Chain A
Amino acid sequence: MELILKIAWRNILRHKGKSLIIGVILFLGSLLMTVGNGVISGMDHGLERNIVNGFLGDLVIIPGKEKSDNVLFKMYGESIDKIANYKDIKKLLQKEDYIAGFLPIGRNVAMILNEEEGDPGYAMLLGVDFDQYRRFFPNNFESVEGRLLAKGESGILIPLKHREDVYDQMNVWLIPEGSAVTDKNLSDDARKNRKYLNVKHDAVFMGMSDVYSSSDIRLPVRGIIRYNALNTIWGHFSIMDIESYRRCLGYFAASESAVKVTKEKKKLLEMDSSNLDAMFGTTDFVVADTGKADISGISFKRKEIPKTSGDVDLEDGAYNLILVRLKDRVSLNRGLSKLNRSLASANLGVRATTWKKASGFIGSMATLIKGALFVFVMFLFLVAIIIIVNTLTMAALERTTEIGMMRAVGAQKGFIGRMFLGETAILSGLFGGLGVLIGVIAVKITPLLRITSDNDLVQLLFGGDTFMPYLSLGDIAVVLFELLLVTFITVIYPVKVSRGITPLDAISRD
């Protein structure tokens, strides 16, 4: 091996031009791979950090009837079914020792009615017990205008981004009650129309549900908020107190008195609404009219601002999702499978999914971009491999006399092959290693530059507001493995050619 490496190293120095060409290609390839992996890992880590810690938790429990796990970015008009048995689920979750915490929330879409005959607006709503929410996500947003919700208070917190959307849709500029327009927070369009701005402190929301009879409720805007990470993406989600949310979506609210449901009515309520034969085809269809059942369809009468919930047990009402945070060192997949086993055995009509699946395209964006970058890098490497293979093959053929003479004096084919492998490995180690090293340094330095973006897509690529590429030891190992693979692939054909050179070829060339 010492002899092979000695010859290989001296041949590299002897053929400096070719060595440099191969070396530069390996260097650039390794650098690109390292930085690319750093960007992707940074995106992956950033998305995970920002989504798990600031928006969804690790796992999301969703109604069992939901066809898709993507509950965060469902299409408008597709509502998420409700979870009516939260207290039962809570008991189960409290017993699971791998769960660090959980938070029930409402999550659906509401229409914002335009009271001046204009187009309506839309709001993606998170219905929360605000105290619980802030305990679960202590630092995920900040108030930029007005204030946050007080305990048990009804109202809505609207992100900057959503306020701009509402202005674009309805020509209404929402500001918190009791406050004036803050000029610095105006969007460009709103600033242009500053004099004629239609300012409102409240809005009428009508839940959009394809199953339940929603209501329209008037709610005051308590504050304008800004999410601390991925604001341009999360900024579409307004935070509403859970009781208002329930009324808006037509769910039984916790503050409403309990309704005694007769056996017959319970059966009716459980029927599939699309199955008319089932509803009207039997003599069992006898409903006792208690006057309290919420089956009256959409009410067009705009309700007044609901009173605060007071001491009502909010957990009595319905939710749509339960966000679950796992304890440290519990892997996502392990936690998911354990939780799903528990939920299934308890027959609670819900299932758990990961934050990646629950966040739809955002969660899979990292995988998609990773795949795209991988294909791009592989394409570049394919080109690089072709160039290196060509250069090495030419080198092998140019050295026919030398190789043939070595074979003539007794070098086996394996020796010649190892000699070429040695040359490529040395080049790969030196130049590729340098590429990896510089790539790692670049990835480590970049976060210090605090590169930020407000663009949605760029934020996705960043995995947050700030560009934070990241490389784990595993990522570096992957890059080194890829480098090794490329080295091996590039050397196969030249080695085959060089092994095929015979002493006779050398003599014939002479």
Chain B
Amino acid sequence: MMRDTIVGRIPNMTSGRGARSRRKGDAKNIIEIRNLVKDYPLGSTTVHALRRMDLDIQEGDFLSIVGPSGSGKTTLLNVIGCIDHATDGSVKVGGTEITTLDDRQITDMRLHRIGFIFQTFNLIPVLDVRENVEFPLLLMKTMSKTEVRTRAEKLIDEVGLTEFVDHRPAELSGGQRQRVAIARALVTNPDIVLADEPTANLDSVTGAQILDLMRTMNKIEKTTFIFSTHDANVLKYARDIIKIKDGQIVKG
């Protein structure tokens, strides 16, 4: 019923330039959201963060979710990224229904299929650049030490931080830390990378560099990137754009 008021099959209906190009390739959906509801209790009232949202995102996309503060951007990313639970509805990531998974399964999902780039460049402070990038691979325990190191160093090289490989996060600039976060997000070769306002704490030049890097990595690694922003300057980097307002996707 609510689907009448929101935009379904979003890539076809948003203004993103990539929508057309991907339609050419007939790419399959990496994310399928149906009737998604997310409510937060707040004292005696309930905040309706997402209101019966439907959304499909295609594999390999470079998609931006935009909207004002409190519109539900971060909540949507959190639900897609298996960080938060849906109150109702269905969310499939790479064909897996994530709303029914237990904690262990959902953690595995985050480890193997999702990469994260947070707003505040969350790295492990006691590990250096190489160790931070290696961290998810070591959790996976599927590769030898040599393979882990080779893979991590490849990603570190791609984000341009080879000379800082032994530096701890505290010894890096904000932009460098975000590059490390990008490398770490991609090191497990995930289906999607989620970035919540990745440039919010960076100056405009560094922010542009990070977005360029993300787009480059999207091309190199063929990984779907979904990032949220409320910065209009960032939108030009997006191939597709979803606009959210009051927990619903709106036509742009």
Interface residues of A (CB under 8 A from B): 3, 6-7, 10-11, 13-14, 401-402, 405-413, 415, 502-504, 506-507, 510
Known: A3-B138, A504-B83. A410 touches B74 (CB 8 A): no
User: Could you tell me the distance between the alpha carbons of A3 and B127 in the complex, rounded to whole angstroms?
Assistant: 10
Kindly name the residue among B135, B184, B196 whose own CB sees the greatest number of chain A CB atoms within 10 A. Answer: B135
User: Could you tell me the distance between the alpha carbons of A11 and B127 in the complex, rounded to whole angstroms?
Assistant: 10
Within 8 A of A (CB), among B126-140: 126-127, 131, 135-136, 138-140
| Contact B124–A410 (Cβ < 8 Å) | no
User: Could you tell me the distance between the alpha carbons of A143 and B57 in the complex, rounded to whole angstroms?
Assistant: 103
| Contact A401–B111 (Cβ < 8 Å) | no
Kindly name the residue among A402, A409, A502 whose own CB sees the greatest number of chain B CB atoms within 10 A. Answer: A409
Within 8 A of A (CB), among B197-245: none
Known: A507-B74, A507-B78, A507-B83. A409 touches B126 (CB 8 A): no
| Contact B124–A7 (Cβ < 8 Å) | yes
Within 8 A of A (CB), among B144-201: 184, 188, 196
Task: Answer whether residue B96 sits at the interface, using C-beta atoms and an 8 A cutoff.
Answer: no
Number of interchain pairs (Cβ within 8 Å): 74
| Contact A410–B136 (Cβ < 8 Å) | yes
Stretch at the interface among B14-22, B47-55, B86-94, B114-122: B114-122
Please indicate the chain A residues that have their CB under 8 angstroms from the CB of B97 in the complex: none
One digit per residue, 1 when the CB lies within 8 angstroms of any chain A CB and 0 when it does not, for chain B 61-79 equals 0000000000000100010
| Contact B135–A10 (Cβ < 8 Å) | no
User: Could you tell me the distance between the alpha carbons of A11 and B126 in the complex, rounded to whole angstroms?
Assistant: 7
In the complex, besides A409-B111, A504-B78, 20 extra interface pairs with C-beta distance below 8 angstroms are A3-B138, A6-B131, A401-B120, A401-B122, A402-B125, A408-B116, A408-B118, A410-B112, A410-B136, A411-B107, A411-B139, A412-B104, A412-B107, A412-B139, A413-B103, A415-B139, A503-B83, A504-B84, A510-B118, A510-B119
User: Could you tell me the distance between the alpha carbons of A409 and B123 in the complex, rounded to whole angstroms?
Assistant: 10
Please indicate the chain B residues that have their CB under 8 angstroms from the CB of A503 in the complex: 83, 110
Please indicate the chain B residues that have their CB under 8 angstroms from the CB of A402 in the complex: 122, 124-125
| Contact B139–A14 (Cβ < 8 Å) | no
Please indicate the chain B residues that have their CB under 8 angstroms from the CB of A413 in the complex: 103, 107
Please indicate the chain A residues that have their CB under 8 angstroms from the CB of B135 in the complex: 3, 406, 409
Known: A409-B116, A410-B139, A415-B139. A7 touches B111 (CB 8 A): no
Closest Cβ neighbor of A410 among chain B residues: B111
Shortest 5 CB-CB distances between A and B: which pairs?
Answer: A410-B111, A10-B126, A405-B122, A503-B83, A510-B120
| Contact B184–A408 (Cβ < 8 Å) | no
User: Could you tell me the distance between the alpha carbons of A14 and B127 in the complex, rounded to whole angstroms?
Assistant: 11
Please indicate the chain B residues that have their CB under 8 angstroms from the CB of A401 in the complex: 120, 122
Q: How many residues does chain B have at the interface if contact means C-beta atoms less than 8 Å apart? A: 32
| Contact A506–B122 (Cβ < 8 Å) | yes
Can you list 16 A-B pairs with a CB-CB distance of less than 8 A? A6-B131, A7-B124, A10-B126, A13-B126, A406-B124, A408-B81, A408-B83, A409-B116, A410-B107, A410-B110, A410-B111, A410-B112, A410-B140, A411-B107, A507-B83, A510-B118
User: Could you tell me the distance between the alpha carbons of A385 and B120 in the complex, rounded to whole angstroms?
Assistant: 35
Please indicate the chain A residues that have their CB under 8 angstroms from the CB of B103 in the complex: 413
Closest Cβ neighbor of A403 among chain B residues: B124
Closest Cβ neighbor of A7 among chain B residues: B126
Closest Cβ neighbor of A9 among chain B residues: B126
Interface residues of B (CB under 8 A from A): 74, 78, 81, 83-84, 103-104, 107-108, 110-112, 115-116, 118-120, 122-127, 131, 135-136, 138-140, 184, 188, 196
User: Could you tell me the distance between the alpha carbons of A179 and B127 in the complex, rounded to whole angstroms?
Assistant: 86
Closest Cβ neighbor of A10 among chain B residues: B126
User: Could you tell me the distance between the alpha carbons of A502 and B125 in the complex, rounded to whole angstroms?
Assistant: 18
User: Could you tell me the distance between the alpha carbons of A239 and B202 in the complex, rounded to whole angstroms?
Assistant: 95
Please indicate the chain B residues that have their CB under 8 angstroms from the CB of A506 in the complex: 122
User: Could you tell me the distance between the alpha carbons of A496 and B57 in the complex, rounded to whole angstroms?
Assistant: 37
Please indicate the chain A residues that have their CB under 8 angstroms from the CB of B107 in the complex: 407, 410-413
Closest Cβ neighbor of B119 among chain A residues: A510
Which of A409, A412, A507 is close to B136, meaning CB atoms less than 8 Å apart? A409
Please indicate the chain A residues that have their CB under 8 angstroms from the CB of B112 in the complex: 410
Known: A409-B116, A412-B104. A10 touches B140 (CB 8 A): no
The smallest C-beta distance from A69 to any residue of chain B, in angstroms, reads 60
The smallest C-beta distance from B42 to any residue of chain A, in angstroms, reads 13
The smallest C-beta distance from A410 to any residue of chain B, in angstroms, reads 2
Please indicate the chain B residues that have their CB under 8 angstroms from the CB of A10 in the complex: 126-127
The smallest C-beta distance from A194 to any residue of chain B, in angstroms, reads 79
Which of B78, B120, B125, B184 is close to A409, meaning CB atoms less than 8 Å apart? B184
Closest Cβ neighbor of B141 among chain A residues: A3
User: Could you tell me the distance between the alpha carbons of A6 and B132 in the complex, rounded to whole angstroms?
Assistant: 12
Closest Cβ neighbor of B112 among chain A residues: A410
The smallest C-beta distance from A367 to any residue of chain B, in angstroms, reads 48
Closest Cβ neighbor of B131 among chain A residues: A6
| Contact A7–B118 (Cβ < 8 Å) | no
Closest Cβ neighbor of B109 among chain A residues: A410
The smallest C-beta distance from A27 to any residue of chain B, in angstroms, reads 24
Please indicate the chain A residues that have their CB under 8 angstroms from the CB of B104 in the complex: 412
Closest Cβ neighbor of A409 among chain B residues: B136
User: Could you tell me the distance between the alpha carbons of A208 and B84 in the complex, rounded to whole angstroms?
Assistant: 87
Known: A507-B78, A510-B118. A14 touches B126 (CB 8 A): yes
Please indicate the chain A residues that have their CB under 8 angstroms from the CB of B119 in the complex: 510
The smallest C-beta distance from A12 to any residue of chain B, in angstroms, reads 9
Please indicate the chain B residues that have their CB under 8 angstroms from the CB of A14 in the complex: 125-126
Please indicate the chain A residues that have their CB under 8 angstroms from the CB of B74 in the complex: 507
User: Could you tell me the distance between the alpha carbons of A402 and B112 in the complex, rounded to whole angstroms?
Assistant: 20
Please indicate the chain B residues that have their CB under 8 angstroms from the CB of A408 in the complex: 81, 83, 110, 116, 118, 122
Closest Cβ neighbor of A414 among chain B residues: B104
Please indicate the chain A residues that have their CB under 8 angstroms from the CB of B120 in the complex: 401, 510
User: Could you tell me the distance between the alpha carbons of A402 and B132 in the complex, rounded to whole angstroms?
Assistant: 12
Closest Cβ neighbor of B168 among chain A residues: A10
Closest Cβ neighbor of B113 among chain A residues: A410
Closest Cβ neighbor of A12 among chain B residues: B126
The smallest C-beta distance from A258 to any residue of chain B, in angstroms, reads 91
User: Could you tell me the distance between the alpha carbons of A304 and B126 in the complex, rounded to whole angstroms?
Assistant: 93
Please indicate the chain A residues that have their CB under 8 angstroms from the CB of B116 in the complex: 408-409
Please indicate the chain A residues that have their CB under 8 angstroms from the CB of B115 in the complex: 409
Closest Cβ neighbor of A8 among chain B residues: B126
Please indicate the chain B residues that have their CB under 8 angstroms from the CB of A410 in the complex: 107-108, 110-112, 136, 139-140, 188
Please indicate the chain B residues that have their CB under 8 angstroms from the CB of A502 in the complex: 83
User: Could you tell me the distance between the alpha carbons of A408 and B181 in the complex, rounded to whole angstroms?
Assistant: 12
Closest Cβ neighbor of B170 among chain A residues: A14
The smallest C-beta distance from B108 to any residue of chain A, in angstroms, reads 7
